[in-house]
Amino acid sequence: MAKKVKLTKEGSEKADEIIAFHGYSSVDELVENLINNEYEKIKSDDNDDNKDEQAERLSGLGYIS
């Protein structure tokens, strides 16, 4: 299922720099890689530790008690 993503001019320029730096062949490849990386982060076994860390940060900022 292909979907289009609209980027601002600034976002497009940043994407072009990332593509050049990391050697991606296209914005599609960059986005696919970013999605896969983020998906792996949320599905990893140490996600509980990450949730605890996030809760600690939010508590320190006064968002949760």
Helix H, strand E, coil C: the string for the chain is CCCCCCCCHHHHHHHHHHHHHHCCCCHHHHHHHHHHHHHHHHHCCCHHHHHHHHHHHHHHCCCCC
What span, in angstroms and rounded, lies between the C-alpha atoms of 31 and 39?
A: 12
What is the value of pTM for the model shown? 0.63
pLDDT at residue number 47: 57
Instruction: Delimit the domains of the chain by residue range.
Output: 10-60
Q: What is the mean pLDDT of each run of 10 residues along the chain (65 residues)?
A: 88 96 95 93 70 80 72
CA-to-CA separations, 42 to 14, 49, 51, in angstroms, rounded? 25, 11, 10
